[in-house]
Structure formats: structure tokens, C-alpha cells
Amino acid sequence: MQNDHIKSAEEIALMRRAAAITDDVYEYILGIVSEGVTETALADAIYRKTVELGASGVSFDTIVAFGESGAEPHHVPTDKRLQEGMFVTIDMGAVVEGLCSDFTRTFAFGDIDEEQRRVYDTVYEAQKLALSAVADGTACRAADAAARDHIARCGYGGFYIHGTGHGVGTEIHEPPTLNAKSEETLAAGQVVTVEPGIYLPGRMGVRIEDMVLVGEGRPFSRHTTELITLRQ
């Protein structure tokens, strides 16, 4: 029997607060990124700022991945240093009174090449298609297919190696699951992520993730999903 995981108005409000903190932390991080900074330094800064802004903690171990490290969806931050021409992927979240947020953006540090731009644009469009597919009564696998089929049409199908999303609430991963094998159906009042990605081993990774309330359709985050380029 499917657990519908419908959120109450109070739970949704707390998740919006957690998402707002995450948004503020991301804005802060964009302001301190510089050439030579390490993945671990940014991950530590994210934790400190998240707590400083009122969260009880982060909702999972923060992912910060530079360049080819982004090809690992669950990369653990290292002392790798940021260089010009790299993508930076940050996957993070906050906890407010037991409710979680989940958010990912990939941005460029300095000039990028044509393939990097093509990969980013593919993920960007895939996420928009999947967000449009998230609706009350939609099969979870159909929302997944909206992103997956676009990525495949663009020639990167073999490099999309995880599901398109999952429920969020008191746990960072909870039902429903948006993937090709899911038998679940989306229901109004659920909060799910939409997070397609492309991962090219030894080269790069791009993921864009937003939380969305089923039945509303508008992402919790205020941050654009268009490519941001930071310069030294």
C-alpha cells in the first residue's frame, strides 16, 4: 500500500523556511568562491552558515564537487582546489524543526568550453520538462521520463545514472520515488525533488535540483536554474 506522504500546511511552512535558509547560504557561498578554495572549505562554510541562519543543522552531508569530481553524484568533498574552467556542483540542505530542504546547483568558474555548455543546457531543459510533468495524478515514472527522454535525445542517455527525484519531509529521502521503475503516483500535497543530471567520467558533472509542492508547480528556491558564471 502506497504511503502518500501528504504534507500538512505546518510542515510545508517549515520546509519553506528550510529552503529559504538554503537559498541564503547559496547566495553567501557565491560571494566567497575564489580560485584555489577547496571543496572541504566550501562544505565547512556551508555548514557554519546554515546553523548561523537558524537551522538545527544540514539535512545530509553537503556535496561540493569541482571539475571531474562532479561526475560522482555523491562525491565526498576533498582538498581539491578550484581552478578556472571548472564546473562547481553544490548539493545541500537544511533542517528546521525536523523538516528538511534539498537543493543543488551547478555553476561555472571562469570560461567553459562548448561541451560543458551543451551538457548544462541539456540538464537545464530536462529539469524544466520534469518540473512541468509534476502534477497530481501523474505517474512518477512519467515525470522521470520527461527528463530522461530529453537527455537521451541529446545523446547523453547513458550518463544519466540516477532517478529524477524523491519525496522530502522529516527524512531527506522518502516516498514517492521518481524513477523509471516506480509504480507510485504523485499526489497533491507531496513535496518532491526534481534533479536530473549528466555525469561524464573524468570530465564533469551537472545536476540541477529543486523541491516542488505537487499541485503548485513552483520551486521552493528563488535561485535561477540558468547557468551562472563566476569570475575571479
pLDDT given for residue 2 in this prediction: 42
Q: Is residue 206 a contact partner of residue 87, using CB atoms and an 8 Å limit?
A: yes
CATH class of the structural domain 9-230:
alpha beta
The upper half-sphere exposure of residue 18, i.e. CA atoms within 13 Å in the direction of its Cβ, equals 29
Average pLDDT rounded to a whole number, residues 146-163: 98
> Whose CA is closest to 208, among 127, 112, 116, 131?
127
pLDDT given for residue 1 in this prediction: 30
Cell numbers for 187: 499526489
Where in the chain are the domains? 9-230
pLDDT digits (tens, 9 = 90+) for 162-190: 999 999 999 999 999 999 999 999 999 99
Using CA atoms, how far apart are residues 115 and 39, in angstroms rounded to an integer?
23
pLDDT given for residue 217 in this prediction: 84
Sign of the four-CA dihedral 72, 35, 91, 39: positive
Average pLDDT of every residue of the chain: 97
pLDDT digits (tens, 9 = 90+) for 87-100: 999 999 999 999 99
Integer-rounded Cα Rg, in Å, for the chain is: 17
Using CA atoms, how far apart are residues 122 and 93, in angstroms rounded to an integer?
24
pLDDT given for residue 4 in this prediction: 77
Predicted TM-score (pTM) of the model is 0.97
